[in-house]
Chains A and B, each alone.
Chain A
């Protein structure tokens, strides 16, 4: 076989699909769905440029990116849990708890390194409790993480006495105010978490097992995978993301507060859904979830710039979730 033949034969793997079928099938692939979301994002940007003069300014785009970064970090963890066949409703309030715990007078007295470590440990610890109850206590994830949501809220209120705890340490405040090449450090942190999450999901044995366990837990178990241990690890990863997000929100607001992160879990789950990840597990992409976060954040920004009420904004978000799911189920039905 000549070199040219080899190239030609590699260009056509398997039998060539008819063009029409390939186009229809594109919507069912994750790449196709993500392109669709990029399209939605582009439309939103066009609307933004048309309706608000300030939309396309660098300052506004940075606002979008910064506000996306905190929910974005939570979404990375939630995406992994959902692909692994679970759900995590507790992320918003676990983040609040981590922000409160790491900003008590006592914790602050140990300095920024301990504060950061404390936030990560509280997040991972809450995830560990979630994971153990789900995997070894055999309680459904919905109930466990809902209970965690409520008790994390309560614990955060108790520790803080329902007051905002002001951060006095300049290093923590500097995380949000520092810019590199004009872009806030928070956005880099967000990008880093996404990059690590993507590599873990798509290139490692951990990611591969996550897809297997979410797709068919019984088959994964009978293939010799330690499904319960893996489930615990998934919730710990999600909790760790809450810890990272807690550091970010503490730095951005220079406070630790039990009111941080209210309803963030719903925004994160909604972003995962419109990103094309199956709620039943086993299929999904991190990139889709992140595009989902960007779509939501851009919509919020558009409403703010146009002085529209948040009520209308929430109605629009609800409609978008339904539209996205309808569109996906149709695309799925059309392809074999």
Chain B
């Protein structure tokens, strides 16, 4: 802005504004043009402020070289968002809470009981569920039918002496996928043939079936088309209303701000700001996550 005379704004491979006078245009306006797209999908309205019991308690969590001193709590029925740039440690924090990475320091408590660090089975038993960032490579058995994908964490529940009772399994899966409106409604169909949005619903159905009390969502709408996004937002809000504690990570800042009751802003593996979702706007979040680079310039 100090060198150029005129500004052309590009977004998603298209010109959204050209020949803006460099001197006369406020920075905020340029940022709005660059990032602040109008929300073209419906975000569900927030409920009253959640007052449920604290379900998830993260205290002083850190991993050498990734993030440090991360503390937050999530109440039943509350959606807490983690906003930050790629590389700010968002996914690493979720995976560490879930036990997929071992914490260097800090504790994770679920309903007051400390989780064994670095053990996913222990986390799942305690009621955690994770929808990972890369759905296809981290969550799904693509060649397998929907019902086998959904029942995977709780297969033992449908087993007697190690034998899977397939009727009971399919009936339960059918109920879960019907509640989330997975289409087509055929649990025997290979997951690979489903759309991105419906694949994500299959992953959600998995944790609905386990009856998890803490749901960790990493980029839940990546690769999901606009129509299905709205559905997933409604489902996540619905799960929260049923008393699930939700932690949401997304690169889509309006998504985090619109869906979360409370937002933690991350920069370089540290929480730099915490505020109710409604009190932040995108420009302010971008300011916060970029502050580091501004400091460097100063």
Contacts and interface: CB of A to CB of B under 8 A. Distances in A.
A, B co-complexed: yes
Interface in B183-211: 184, 186, 188-189, 206
Q: Quick one: which of B121, B130, B184, B188 has the most chain A CB within 10 A?
A: B121
B139 A219 contact: yes
Nearest to B98: A222
Nearest to A283: B143
Contacts of B141: 211-212, 215-216, 219-220, 282
Contacts of A182: none
Nearest to A203: B163
A208 interface: yes
Given A215-B144, A222-B139, A204 B100 contact: no
B155 A209 contact: yes
A219 B143 contact: no
A223 B164 contact: no
Interface residues of B, number: 31
Contacts of A224: 120-121, 123-125, 152-153
Interface in B64-123: 98, 100, 120-121, 123
B290 interface: no
B293 interface: no
A222 B130 contact: yes
A225 B121 CA distance: 6
Interface in A209-233: 209, 211-212, 215-216, 218-226
A212 B164 contact: no
A224 B203 CA distance: 13
A226 B184 CA distance: 31
A139 to B, nearest CB: 20
Given A208-B148, A215-B143, A223-B153, 5 more contacts: A203-B164, A204-B163, A205-B162, A221-B120, A223-B206
7 contacts: A205-B159, A212-B148, A215-B141, A222-B139, A223-B139, A223-B153, A224-B123
Interface of A: 13-14, 203-206, 208-209, 211-212, 215-216, 218-226, 282-283
Interface of B: 98, 100, 120-121, 123-125, 130, 132, 137-144, 148, 152-153, 155-156, 159, 162-164, 184, 186, 188-189, 206
